[in-house]
Amino acid sequence: MTAFIAVFGRDLRLALRHGGDTGLVLGFFVLAVVLFPLGVGPEPGVLQRIGAGIVWVAALLAALLSLDRLFQADYQDGGLDLLALSDLSLELTVVAKCAAHWTASGLPLTVISPVLAFAVDLEPEAIPVLMLSLLIGTPALSLLGSVGAALSLGARRQGALLSLLILPLYIPPLVFGAGAVETSLTGSGAHAHLLILGALSLISVALCPWASAAALRQALE
């Protein structure tokens, strides 16, 4: 347990110390969302229809941006070898790192999303559902992203490869997360979508560490 907390704390401190990381993610998130109203035009109603989707897609892309720092730095300076040799199993190490990644990127995204809801003209009643959907769904994004980051360690074009690998896997959280906000606005209630989103996150916690650890072991061979 102490080892788990140690890894989590180390990764969190590193992410916050290079304060640029969290700031970069948030800055990208805000910019990406702001581009859509500028591109789509000022006509009322258009933006409202697609607002939740825009916020969710921007959250996906922002999560993708910060994924390469998950394993890359440790892989390059040898820290990953030490973590693999330590008492803490590689699967739990992955969970600790993903938890730190989520705290430094997914959680700030969730907190800042109400501000962006105004940028995309989303109805105020939908904001709590948007925040809840992001809160439930972003852990899945961090965990699925860790699988892609582990698989593409040491590849020639790691950034582009990571996006190609991860975005298909991100489609279910996107569909159910944005869908939750849609259904809450149309009145049929967001419960089903949020429950499935929660299921996706739980499945990710259960299965992704095994896939990521297997990929890390291959990278360290």
Partner 1 sequence: MINWLANPARFTRFSATVLPWCARATFAVLAAGLYLALVRAPPDYQQGESVRIMYIHVPAAWMALSVYLFVAVTSAIALVWRHPLAEIAAAAAAPVGAAFTLVCLTTGSLWGRPMWGAWWVWDARLTSVLVLFFLYLGYIALVNGFDEPSRGAKAGAVLALVGVVNLPIIKFSVDWWNTLHQPASVIRLGRPTIDISMLVALLVMAAGFLLLFVTLLMVRMRTALNDRKAMALRLNAAPARARVATADRGGAVQPAIR
Interface ranges with partner 1 (CB under 8 A): 147, 151-152, 154-157, 161, 164-165, 167-169, 171, 175, 211, 214-215, 218-219, 221
Smallest distance, partner 1 to C-beta of residue 193, A: 13
Smallest distance, partner 1 to C-beta of residue 214, A: 5
Residue 124 or 168: the one with the smaller Cβ distance to partner 1 is: 168
DSSP string, 75-107: HHHTHHHHHHHSSS-HHHHHHHHHHHHIIIIIH
User: At a CB cut-off of 8 Å and minimum separation 6, what does 107 contact?
Assistant: 138
Smallest distance, partner 1 to C-beta of residue 60, A: 14
Residue with tokens 């859509």: 36
Residue 92 or 175: the one with the smaller Cβ distance to partner 1 is: 175
Could you tell me which of 30, 20, 87 has the C-alpha nearest to residue 54?
Answer: 30
Residue 127 or 167: the one with the smaller Cβ distance to partner 1 is: 167
Residue 86 or 218: the one with the smaller Cβ distance to partner 1 is: 218
Residue 12 or 196: the one with the smaller Cβ distance to partner 1 is: 196
Q: Is 157 left (phi over 0), alpha (psi -120 to 50) or beta?
A: beta
Smallest distance, partner 1 to C-beta of residue 7, A: 22
Could you give the CA distance from residue 7 to residue 1 in angstroms, rounded to a whole number? 10
Cα separations (Å) of 31 from 62, 65, 137? 10, 13, 21
Smallest distance, partner 1 to C-beta of residue 184, A: 19
